[in-house]
Amino acid sequence: MTQKFTMDTSSTGECRRRTPDIETVREIGSRCSNWARWGADDQLGTLNNVTPANVVAAASLIRTGRVMSLSVPFGSGGPQHPGSGRFNPIHLMSVDGRDFMAGSGTPEERDRRRGYLQNADDILILPLQAATQWDGLAHVFFEQQMYNGYSASYVTSSGAQRNAITGAVDKIVGRGVLLDLPAVKGTSSLDPGYAIGAQDLEDACTDQGVTVGPGDFVLIRTGAMARVRERGEWADYAGGDAPGLGLDSADWLHERDIAGVATDTWALEVVPSETPDVSQPLHIIFIVHMGLWLGEIFDLEELARTCHEQARHEFFFAAQPLKVTGGIGSPINPLAVF
Amino acid sequence: MTQKFTMDTSSTGECRRRTPDIETVREIGSRCSNWARWGADDQLGTLNNVTPANVVAAASLIRTGRVMSLSVPFGSGGPQHPGSGRFNPIHLMSVDGRDFMAGSGTPEERDRRRGYLQNADDILILPLQAATQWDGLAHVFFEQQMYNGYSASYVTSSGAQRNAITGAVDKIVGRGVLLDLPAVKGTSSLDPGYAIGAQDLEDACTDQGVTVGPGDFVLIRTGAMARVRERGEWADYAGGDAPGLGLDSADWLHERDIAGVATDTWALEVVPSETPDVSQPLHIIFIVHMGLWLGEIFDLEELARTCHEQARHEFFFAAQPLKVTGGIGSPINPLAVF
Amino acid sequence: MTQKFTMDTSSTGECRRRTPDIETVREIGSRCSNWARWGADDQLGTLNNVTPANVVAAASLIRTGRVMSLSVPFGSGGPQHPGSGRFNPIHLMSVDGRDFMAGSGTPEERDRRRGYLQNADDILILPLQAATQWDGLAHVFFEQQMYNGYSASYVTSSGAQRNAITGAVDKIVGRGVLLDLPAVKGTSSLDPGYAIGAQDLEDACTDQGVTVGPGDFVLIRTGAMARVRERGEWADYAGGDAPGLGLDSADWLHERDIAGVATDTWALEVVPSETPDVSQPLHIIFIVHMGLWLGEIFDLEELARTCHEQARHEFFFAAQPLKVTGGIGSPINPLAVF
Amino acid sequence: MTQKFTMDTSSTGECRRRTPDIETVREIGSRCSNWARWGADDQLGTLNNVTPANVVAAASLIRTGRVMSLSVPFGSGGPQHPGSGRFNPIHLMSVDGRDFMAGSGTPEERDRRRGYLQNADDILILPLQAATQWDGLAHVFFEQQMYNGYSASYVTSSGAQRNAITGAVDKIVGRGVLLDLPAVKGTSSLDPGYAIGAQDLEDACTDQGVTVGPGDFVLIRTGAMARVRERGEWADYAGGDAPGLGLDSADWLHERDIAGVATDTWALEVVPSETPDVSQPLHIIFIVHMGLWLGEIFDLEELARTCHEQARHEFFFAAQPLKVTGGIGSPINPLAVF
């Protein structure tokens, strides 16, 4: 079922195809580039596509008041593997309930000593890319440059001095669209290694009676999370072969002036990459050239069921990041509101 | 300017007043209790007051598409003091941009070796109560019990097994109302130690032409954040004397069946406490007895300006917490949408 | 090759044997108990066995000036498995060298601006039990009590208020003795599940011409670390079946008044436990009843080679813990000096 | 009382003095450089000065068996200030004693369910430079180079690929010498800003009847820790004005081929620096040019009392660092053994 991306390189009308490589990435990147489109100082990329009118229009999609979270749990049972440089969130209590259940004196005496206040507090240690997340525009560089031509040297041990996540704190609200690919294809989930192309996205729009346009947040379901639930473990969800966006999807997404795209997979793009010599080519094209906001590890299962029940694949979407100074990405709890 | 809370304890019509104490807290707590109101198994408290109809109605407040963040920055420059058990977020880079700017071989050789992928990643260490946040219902106990009568022993080193923040992931969306107290009183900020009472809240509603009702998220501006900006440092913002909700506000808030309340201060309630023998009595009444969701360290300055400009103090509000397994609270980026 | 521990429960001279269980643990624990031996206030346990004279005598073992570290590396490649509640150390740079290799202005200008100082700093996040370590006496409880009868309630979210690691900061210096069990048995490593008994220890002493006495730190090599090196991965080193001390070793170690014991395994004691109903029975007997200091994940390979080369299995030993306030254990870098 | 460092720059016999500056630092650094002294591949610097014979000789200083720790506590009450990029150690319990003191069922039932094992575990988050520590040779760069000419680019977000602390794990054992400067000067502590020079060190040696020679670890007491104890708070101990080594001490220490030097202050060298244009010039000279190991935040109070009582200022010294992969420095518990 794996679809192979090839490129028509014919200038004579004869169709010849070659394996995509770094040159392919450069060509698509160049074609889809948004550098300087919103000014030399821009640090928001495709979030510029969201207008106040988009937000108002999106509000009209709130009709039943049903709200759902698209987040996986942030905890020790998450998808990350040790040794990858990422780890699952570590949640620790600096004070807990049982701290108040013993000690010297009677409970009454202890209560009086502390003015009756008993409070628990907790601490979280997490990679900002640990679970459901946005990749910010300082997350990926290509040849030492990031989105809009900023040097990678702006991202030091102190964080991102350009393209930080903080610019997006009030920008990720608008219309959400679900493209449920397995539903279109009559399967429960796409196969690992399946590269989603333009026609797949087009088919999904047609089948689900939805259009994708400027300022939209496009959520693409591959069914990978359903597989995780089915087998009862994450297994190689993080880093293993997975379905995802393919090189052929880039122009389609670029032309529609969307604001962001997210999937229910770890990498968003297909794994293994279609380019033998380039690792994660779409992270380069999307983040560096397009300034496109990528969401990963979204749980789209309940959303898909709701879209089918309500027979509509559009909804109000709010997935604002935390305002982390110098942040490269952010853990999020994306909401869909119907 | 400090207002003193006193209680009418007369049963004969004669008005006698006494300094509030633990008995006052018990009385108010008992009167405002929501235990068992939504069933013996409830873990959501006042978020039950938000109905789908509330969400739909709130959506109609989105008219101009203006979105604003009510979050302070999460970074080393935050308000927390060391030694308090809380600390400011620690943001670290596990990979940064400059990591790709040197090494053995030419840049081209290095690029080829790593398949052209250059990505930065970051890690955050933070108390969930470090900056703009929700206190969850497992955050405070009274006499070893938390909201709805659950034992404090449910909150162990592994986190909250009852009343965890995860229950709220899809519940904190609805109508937001700003009560701008300094504006009503014609001052720039309330004095430290000022206890906000029912009449203050009533006056604000009248003055600002807004009502507070079931399912609302009530944001109360004291001007404390304006003070921080004015003096250019947090100083004793965390833990020092501050204006905030007083005991007299409890019944007013309870009667209106609100969903949550937040302020621009560190403690939400007035500091020092009105009760010499009880530390933070309103955390006990609100969280333990009412199951009321408390937001702290909100930045309400731009919101206040916008409300005045648009001559309306109501808006769509989304402040969903992260889905932290067993979490006691959550860092948030609350949004107001006009 | 697995040795089975059984107990002679005959009171008539007839030898009957039964599977050890919680009653066995209670019997051995009671027999080997050091509670109250060094006073009701003691928090050091067997470290009381180290006298100044022991230290002076140990110094005489320093004859060639050869020093070696018995520590495994503290890094992401360590033995811990995620999901176990422990994780490998996370090492992060808050400032690194490349931070100084770019920026605005010439290198000279940047140097002048910062007064020529360029410094790197780093941060470590680690379970104190992550790698080579001491278990302190607050690490294990039995029926809610720890060594010397202190209630487990002394160990709160704030750390150990009794039996903390800090008491040992100047106590873990003295004579080290290596008992190299595979060498005695003519094998490269003991089999997983092999329970080391009194006779094994006795044989090793005889074979290696060494005695074990009061105040000694006894290092027991099982060869588990050699296995790790041989297979090139930790695999199930942490938590999997492993050789280790068995129930039969308890009296032998107790009678000799040693100061501490350490092995090259994750658990020190044999896994699986000999007691079907008790998990890690020797942690209970050793730590809770005896107040014995346990060292784990020691790398004894180079030490074993050196002992054989120098034909002596005793040396000066210094394995002082960090002075972690309220600490349960400590990462260490144990040294053997010949 | 502040001593001013000046340099004789006369080539004619005429004594002219100037304020030291970056050129002074270059001159001293060049004069005291150990680059290439122990080979182009050396990563140990002055630890090469410790020979096996030194270790054996040091062992002969163990005469009474008295052991003492020179570490301050690692805990929330440490000296670091927030905002400095360093913070005090954060100690958290992942499991504590009270976790076992409640739960469903009787204590006996709970015990049986978990196989009777009750263990506490803890986690530490700390800058490796938080408290008593070694600065490793990758800690400071000068003009993008570190000790022995390695490029600063070897120290990436992944840690030090050259001059890492791991090289020292078995090297920091030998003879310790205490130079108690306030005792020599008949005061309780040196004044903040006092720059210790060669004559001060010479006087201390004479007064205390001790010599400093090859392979020694020289501990220099300024009395700063006594001041902290006296005033009951760290105050500006970290980063504020302090006594410490001055530029004039560099040649003296270099000529003696010592292995390391440590003080009871935060910065080791005098603050403010003697060079208006160079921040911490001795960190540059010592670490980068000499490859000298620097110890900071040592508690030398009990040590000083013991040296005076025993009328000897030399002792066996073991201050081995943790084996932190890629580490820049290490928290330590230095021991003096008499």
Q: Which ipTM score applies to this complex?
A: 0.95
Please list every residue in chain A whose beta carbon sits closer than 8 Å to the beta carbon of residue B273: 115
Coil, helix or strand at residue D188: coil
Q: Chain C: list its partners (3+ Cβ pairs within 8 Å).
A: A, B, D
Binned at pLDDT 50, 70 and 90, residue B82 comes out as confident
Q: How far is CA D332 from CA B114, C74, D322, D324, in A?
A: 37, 14, 7, 12
Nearest to B65 among A55, A92, A326 (CB): A55
Is residue C79 a contact partner of residue D112, using CB atoms and an 8 Å limit? no
How close is the nearest chain A Cα to the Cα of C32, in Å? 29
Looking at residue D81, its pLDDT comes to 87
- Neighbouring C-beta atoms of residue A144, cutoff 10 Å: 17
Q: How many CA atoms lie within 13 A of B164 on its CB side?
A: 21
Residue of D nearest to C95 (CA): D157
B-C interface: how many C-beta pairs under 8 angstroms?
25
Model confidence pLDDT, tens digit, residues A193-245: 999 999 999 999 999 999 999 999 999 999 999 999 999 999 999 999 999 99
Is residue C285 a contact partner of residue C41, using CB atoms and an 8 Å limit? no
Tokens 């080290």 belong to which residue? C176
Is residue B120 a contact partner of residue A155, using CB atoms and an 8 Å limit? yes
Bridge partners of A335, per DSSP, are A69, A318
Looking at residue A14, its pLDDT comes to 41
Binned at pLDDT 50, 70 and 90, residue A17 comes out as low
Question: Which residue type does C17 have?
Answer: R
Please list every residue in chain B whose beta carbon sits closer than 8 Å to the beta carbon of residue D96: 157
Across A244-254, average pLDDT: 98
Looking at residue D148, its pLDDT comes to 98
Are A99 and C151 inside 8 Å of each other by CB?
Answer: no
Are D157 and B99 inside 8 Å of each other by CB?
Answer: yes
Are C82 and A103 inside 8 Å of each other by CB?
Answer: no
Binned at pLDDT 50, 70 and 90, residue B17 comes out as low
DSSP state of D94: E
Please list every residue in chain B whose beta carbon sits closer than 8 Å to the beta carbon of residue A320: 69, 318, 333, 335
Looking at residue C76, its pLDDT comes to 95
> How far is it, in rounded angstroms, from Cα B220 to Cα C202?
75
How close is the nearest chain C Cα to the Cα of B31, in Å? 33
> How far is it, in rounded angstroms, from Cα D114 to Cα C133?
24
Tell me which H or E stretch contains A318. Answer: strand A314-318
Is residue A283 a contact partner of residue A37, using CB atoms and an 8 Å limit? no
> How far is it, in rounded angstroms, from Cα C38 to Cα C42?
6
Q: Is B119 on the interface with A (CB under 8 A)?
A: yes
Q: Chain A: list its partners (3+ Cβ pairs within 8 Å).
A: B, C, D
How close is the nearest chain B Cα to the Cα of A88, in Å? 11
Q: Is D90 on the interface with B (CB under 8 A)?
A: yes
Query: Residue B86: pLDDT above 80?
Result: yes
Question: Which residue type does D161 have?
Answer: Q
Query: Residue B293: pLDDT above 80?
Result: yes
Q: In chain C, helix, strand, coil percent, each to 5?
A: 30, 25, 50
- Neighbouring C-beta atoms of residue B203, cutoff 10 Å: 15
Q: Is C122 on the interface with B (CB under 8 A)?
A: no
Q: Is B209 on the interface with D (CB under 8 A)?
A: no
Percent of chain D with pLDDT over 70: 95
Nearest to D101 among A92, A98, A157 (CB): A98
Please list every residue in chain A whose beta carbon sits closer than 8 Å to the beta carbon of residue D90: 123
Nearest to B101 among C92, C98, C157 (CB): C98
Looking at residue D66, its pLDDT comes to 98
Tokens matching residue D254 = 């270099």
- Neighbouring C-beta atoms of residue A143, cutoff 10 Å: 14
More confident residue, B107 or C8: B107
Strands C121-127 and D121-127: antiparallel
Tokens 């047609």 belong to which residue? A206
Q: Chain B: list its partners (3+ Cβ pairs within 8 Å).
A: A, C, D
> How far is it, in rounded angstroms, from Cα A122 to Cα A101?
18
How close is the nearest chain C Cα to the Cα of A156, in Å? 6
Strands A7-8 and A17-18: antiparallel
Are C76 and A90 inside 8 Å of each other by CB?
Answer: no
- Neighbouring C-beta atoms of residue A236, cutoff 10 Å: 14
Binned at pLDDT 50, 70 and 90, residue A103 comes out as confident
> How far is it, in rounded angstroms, from Cα A161 to Cα B289?
45
For C108-152, give the DSSP string. HHHHHHTTT-EE-EEEEEEETTSSSEEE-TTSEEBTTB-GGG-BG
Q: Chain D: list its partners (3+ Cβ pairs within 8 Å).
A: A, B, C
Tokens matching residue D213 = 């020679």
The parts of chain C modelled with pLDDT lower than 50 are 1-4, 7-16
> How far is it, in rounded angstroms, from Cα A301 to Cα A309?
13
How close is the nearest chain A Cα to the Cα of B80, in Å? 14
Point out the least confidently predicted range of B165-179, B295-309, C10-24, D53-67. C10-24
How close is the nearest chain A Cα to the Cα of B143, in Å? 7
Query: Residue A2: pLDDT above 80?
Result: no
Q: Is B125 on the interface with D (CB under 8 A)?
A: yes
Coil, helix or strand at residue C54: helix
The parts of chain D modelled with pLDDT lower than 70 are 1-17
Query: Residue A169: pLDDT above 90?
Result: yes
- What residues 31-60 of chain A have any CB closer than 8 A to a CB of chain B? 51-56, 58-60
Looking at residue B21, its pLDDT comes to 98
- What residues 248-277 of chain B have any CB closer than 8 A to a CB of chain A? 273, 277
